[in-house]
Structure 1
Amino acid sequence: MINDSELIINADGSIYHLNLKPEDIADTIIFVGDPDRVAEVSKYFDNIEVKKGKREFITHTGFLGNKRLTVISTGIGTDNIDIVINELDALVNIDFETKSLKEEIKSLDIIRIGTSGSIQGNIAIGTILASEFAIGFDTLMQYYKKPYTETELAIQNAVIHNFEDLTFRPYIGHASEKLLAKFAYDLPKGITMTAPGFYGPQGRALRTNNTYPQLIKQANQFIVGNRQITNLEMETAGIYAMCNMLGHHAISINAILASRVQESFCENPQEIIDNAIKLVLNRL
């Protein structure tokens, strides 16, 4: 049995942060960061049966044709990903009456539709890119024991060698092969770098002196086998690592809005994001 302080359930039977009950979510879940983007996804649903929200976590569940879907806003950063994935896993795999694990463990399909910046000159603004692997430059996985594949260990060792001045140990996560085949069969793929902030942690300096001023240059030059770091954002590595650990399927679909190499930002971000949304929904 799980202690009350470990799994907090609200008075109405919903889980603490997400404010959701087990019946409120589908087995296929779309993640977006921005709460306002939830409606930009669900407007394509044929009907919506659940609309709930608490803090930055907004949830819509409904149907697209015969497919039941949930879209949830995670907010920004892997600290929120820790909350969202743990609570989603609890909703499907823990009996809230007995606070014990269910006999049959369920695996969710989680598709992130997010914005990102390219750090390779050959990846143009407007590209929709799938993350095959992700490197976490945050500390989330310092608190968990995640099994690593041989490929993940090779990438991790290459990161440690390439980013010699790091004072922390980055972690690695991988996309679901099933979801790569379904959603990204014709998309460019790469290694995504996940940062715990938008400014210093992504190599930006407005009025600051950064600890790692060569971060983008180092990321641009990183290579392991035939793989490069292609883009930079703030959630994918946390999603992949947590899902790898808990047995869920995950894929991150990135709408490239900026080029860190060319130091430019797109003029039509909403159009690019909408293209990514429609691509995912059309392939469900």
Structure 2
Amino acid sequence: MQLKPSELILNADQSIYHLNLLPQDLADTVITVGDPDRVALVSNYFDTIEVKKGKREFITHTGMLHGKRISVISTGIGTDNIDIVLNELDALVNINFNNRTIHKEKKQLEIIRIGTSGSIQPEIPINSVIISEYAIGLDSLLRFYDAKQVMHSEMEAEFITHTNWSKYKSTPYIVSYDQQLASKFEGLQFYKGFTATNVGFYGPQGRVLRLKTEDDGLNDKLASFSFNGLKITNLEMETSGIYGLSKLLGHRAISLNAIIANRSTGEFSENPAELIDKLIQKTLKALTKV
């Protein structure tokens, strides 16, 4: 089946519409970061850089480190942007741009998110790192896809009951990380966590400046939820979309969360940049070790 120009949108140079990349620009191992300025913080550790491209908030650098080809790309904030990035990354490796047909043999990407996050459990301190075993999406992204096969429905039902989830909000969904990719990070002093992905930074994460939230006890409900001993550990805005779309598209994904705030204690890291830099170095070392 040939994809229509309105569905697979290409630029004049045949690059994918938003990311502005050609298939040969992308490595099989992809690090995603939210902040466009963080791309260079990662690629500065590469031995060589062969690609530097960008459009809007989507900046990509591809290069070599210790013989391994790696791409780092900024997604911007939120699962709406993740929908763009994940679908276009997959298109770059699994769709023929010349005849607009899907490859019979699919390529699998390694996708590693490096991001910042806030803990909601007092025992998880600032300046630590969480690798998300599970993510609960409080956004609606995966509900637009035929995705029940990658969701943990029993856990979702327990969460909805525990929080008395409003019928006017999107139905939460729960997805898990890729254990094989996560095994590359064994031995590092990372907490294993259950990450809540929210649709916003203020009200959806329980922050109140001038606007009253619909449920002023939401963060307490999130923190007190438990399923077979599994507790929600932290809040951010991309992981559930990355995990869900990666599983549906056949890619491997993990999310590494630098904990710069603890919402339960009110603490905030005095040097988040140092924490991010250390996490970048650990990530690159884990990806390139033989």
User: TM-score, normalised to structure 2's length?
Assistant: 0.95
Q: CA deviation at 1:185?
A: 4.7
| Larger deviation, residues 156-165 vs 19-28 | 156-165
Contact kept? 1:131, 1:175, Cα under 8 Å: yes
Contact kept? 2:136, 2:240, Cα under 8 Å: yes
Judged with a 3 Å threshold, the aligned counterparts in structure 2 of structure 1 residues 215 and 184 are, in CA distance, closer, same or farther, namely: farther
Question: In structure 1, what is the equivalent of residue 153 of structure 2?
Answer: 153
Unpaired runs of 5+ residues, structure 1, are none
Give the alignment of 1:74-85 within 5 angstroms: 74-85=75-86
Matches of 1:27 and 1:7 in 2, distance apart?
A: 21
Matches of 2:186 and 2:175 in 1, distance apart?
A: 17
Question: In structure 1, what is the equivalent of residue 166 of structure 2?
Answer: 166
Matches of 2:158 and 2:275 in 1, distance apart?
A: 32
Question: In structure 1, what is the equivalent of residue 108 of structure 2?
Answer: 107
Residues 1:129 and 2:147 aligned together: no
Matches of 2:164 and 2:148 in 1, distance apart?
A: 24
Question: Matched residue of 2:281: which SS?
Answer: helix
Aligned match for 2:237, one of 234, 248, 252? 234
Contact kept? 1:113, 1:277, Cα under 8 Å: yes
Question: In structure 1, what is the equivalent of residue 182 of structure 2?
Answer: 180
Matches of 2:261 and 2:131 in 1, distance apart?
A: 16
Contact kept? 1:59, 1:71, Cα under 8 Å: yes
Q: CA deviation at 1:209?
A: 0.8
Runs of 4+ in 1 over 3 A off after TM superposition: 147-150
- After superposition, the CA RMSD in angstroms is 1.1
Give the alignment of 1:1-284 within 5 angstroms: 1-148=2-149, 152-167=152-167, 168-186=170-188, 187-284=190-287
Contact kept? 1:130, 1:184, Cα under 8 Å: no
Question: Matched residue of 2:76: which SS?
Answer: coil
Matches of 2:229 and 2:29 in 1, distance apart?
A: 32
Could you give the per-residue CA deviations for residues 16-55 of structure 1, whole angstroms, max 9, x where no partner exists? 0000000000000000000000000000000000000000
Counterpart amino acid of residue 158 in structure 2: A
Counterpart amino acid of residue 179 in structure 1: L
Q: Percentage identity across aligned positions?
A: 54
Counterpart amino acid of residue 270 in structure 1: A
Contact kept? 2:153, 2:173, Cα under 8 Å: no
Question: Matched residue of 1:277: which SS?
Answer: helix
Q: CA deviation at 1:118?
A: 0.2
Question: Matched residue of 1:5: which SS?
Answer: coil
Matches of 2:267 and 2:41 in 1, distance apart?
A: 25
Question: Matched residue of 2:54: which SS?
Answer: strand
Contact kept? 1:129, 1:254, Cα under 8 Å: yes
Q: CA deviation at 1:184?
A: 4.3
Q: CA deviation at 1:275?
A: 1.3
Counterpart amino acid of residue 256 in structure 2: I
Matches of 1:165 and 1:250 in 2, distance apart?
A: 28
Matches of 1:215 and 1:61 in 2, distance apart?
A: 40
Matches of 1:190 and 1:269 in 2, distance apart?
A: 20
Counterpart amino acid of residue 160 in structure 1: I
Question: Matched residue of 2:118: which SS?
Answer: strand
Counterpart amino acid of residue 33 in structure 1: G
Question: Matched residue of 1:92: which SS?
Answer: helix
Contact kept? 1:147, 1:245, Cα under 8 Å: no
Judged with a 3 Å threshold, the aligned counterparts in structure 2 of structure 1 residues 184 and 140 are, in CA distance, closer, same or farther, namely: farther
Matches of 2:282 and 2:162 in 1, distance apart?
A: 35
Q: CA deviation at 1:179?
A: 1.2
Q: CA deviation at 1:226?
A: 1.7
User: TM-score, normalised to structure 1's length?
Assistant: 0.97
Unpaired runs of 5+ residues, structure 2, are none
